[in-house]
Amino acid sequence: MCKILNLGLLAVLTAVAFPAVADARDAEDAIEYRQSVYKAIKWHMDPMAAMVKGDIEYDAISLTRHAQNVHALSGMLLEGFVPGSDMGAHAGTTGARSEIWERWGEFEEKMSTLNEQSQALVIASTSGDLRGNIRPAFAELGQACKSCHDEFRERR
Ligand code: HEC
Whether 16 has a pLDDT exceeding 50, the answer reads no
Average the pLDDT over 125-154 and give the result. Answer: 98
Question: Which residues 6+ apart lie within 8 Å of 20 measured at CB?
Answer: none
Return left, alpha or beta for 155; rule: phi > 0 is left, psi -120 to 50 is alpha, else beta: beta
According to the model, what pLDDT value does residue 142 have?
A: 98
Whether 3 has a pLDDT exceeding 80, the answer reads no
Among protein residues, the one with the nearest Cα to ligand 1's atom 36 is: 145
Distance from residue 5's CA to the centre of ligand 1 (Å) = 47
Q: How far apart, in whole angstroms, are the C-alpha atoms of residue 124 and residue 81?
A: 30
According to the model, what pLDDT value does residue 10 have?
A: 46
Q: How far apart, in whole angstroms, are the C-alpha atoms of residue 47 and residue 119?
A: 17
Average the pLDDT over 69-87 and give the result. Answer: 97
Q: Is the CB of 73 under 6 A from ligand 1?
A: no
Average the pLDDT over 83-89 and give the result. Answer: 94
Q: Return the closest-CA partner of residue 69 out of 116, 22, 119.
A: 119
Q: Is the CB of 121 under 6 A from ligand 1?
A: no
According to the model, what pLDDT value does residue 13 have?
A: 44
Q: How far apart, in whole angstroms, are the C-alpha atoms of residue 122 and residue 126?
A: 7
Q: Angle 57-113-126 (CA atoms, 0-180°, nearest 5)?
A: 35
Among protein residues, the one with the nearest Cα to ligand 1's atom 2 is: 148
According to the model, what pLDDT value does residue 9 have?
A: 47
pLDDT in tens, 88-122: 989 999 999 999 999 999 999 999 999 999 999 99
Mean pLDDT rounded to a whole number for the chain: 89
